[in-house]
Amino acid sequence: MPAYLDSILASHRAAAAVDARDVGAVTEAAMEVDRRVGASGRRDFVGALVRGRSDRGMAVISEIKRRSPSKGDLDVALDPAVVAEEYEAGGASCLSVLTDEAFFGGSRDDLVAARAACSLPVLRKDFTVGALDVCDARIMGADAVLLIVAALDDGELTELSALTRALGMAALVEVHDEAELDRALAAGADLIGVNQRDLRTFEVDRDRAVRMGERMPAGVVAVAESGIRDAADVARLAGAGYAAVLVGETLVRSADRISAVDGLLGARA
């Protein structure tokens, strides 16, 4: 099977190695963005998930994704602003926007357009490998960044988590097994995503999140990612202690995205 994660990370690290921007200057620019926005202009990613869980039993992070390496084109011509509006109307608590261009067909423009079209907090979904990636996320308006434990060593994970917090964003720390969960917790993560998709083969294990849920300590906001198809899957994950699910392909492919998001949450209370 193709080693998707290895090739994607190699591409991102190669790009980072030739990025001539001064890290200090870009960090200051990102901090200036955060100062200008201020606390009142930030969108509370974690708070939105907690409220969604309280209001409807589970929060949904709806993903805007044009394509994937394993499935090919999903909806390459989608309008991110329209999709964001549809997701919000369906009851999503947050958005996830792919900004990787080479492998997922995304862009920073997708994130900017999606965030401007709705009031939801937005996760920059990308393969973060350094401080410049975190700073770029803040500059483009993201409210959260993805940190994949399998892509980072312990020093990078701790450093990038701290920088994310300093820039007023949340870090969704993604794990795939118990060893990675231990590393995430050691780095101080309190928002942890369990990806049921193996990022090296892109195969999905729909029992992984339930197994991993038993290991989540109190106080962690847990998110289940990948392989979530319907309300039954969502209910099962809620029972395993998850506060939120992150859903991409199922929603992007839907002919009625408003109903698709709403349907994941089951009947309204």
pLDDT the model gives residue 207: 86
Catalytic residue among 65, 68, 93, 249: 65
Among 62, 68, 93, 195, the active-site one is: 195
- The 10 Å Cβ neighbour count of residue 156 is 17
Residue 63 annotated among the catalytic residues of the structure? yes
**What confidence score (pLDDT) does residue 59 get?**
97
The pLDDT, as a whole number, for residue 1 is: 36
Left if phi > 0, otherwise alpha if psi is -120 to 50, otherwise beta: which for 146?
A: beta
225 is catalytic: yes
Domains in the chain (CATH in brackets) are 4-264 (3.20.20.70)
pLDDT at 138: 97
Q: State the pLDDT at residue 269.
A: 40
- pLDDT number for residue 178: 92
Select which of 86, 88, 180, 225 is catalytic: 225
Of 63, 86, 88, 249, catalytic: 63
For 38-51, what is each residue's pLDDT tens digit? 878 899 999 999 99
How much is the pTM? 0.94
Please indicate whether residue 125 is annotated as part of the active site: yes
* Tokens of residue 258, six digits: 């408003």
Which residue intervals of 206-248 are DSSP H helices? 208-213, 231-239
In this prediction, the residues of the chain whose per-residue pLDDT falls under 50 are: 1-2, 268-269
Q: Name the nearest CA neighbour of 242 among 93, 132, 116, 137.
A: 93
Looking at residue 2, its pLDDT comes to: 47
Catalytic annotation present for 195: yes
Asked if 174 is an active-site residue, the reply is yes
Candidates 125, 161, 180, 249; catalytic one = 125
Length of the chain (residues)? 269
- pLDDT, tens digit (0-9, with 9 covering 90-100), for 209-228: 999 998 999 999 999 998 89
Q: How far apart are the two ends of the chain, measured CA to CA in Å? A: 44
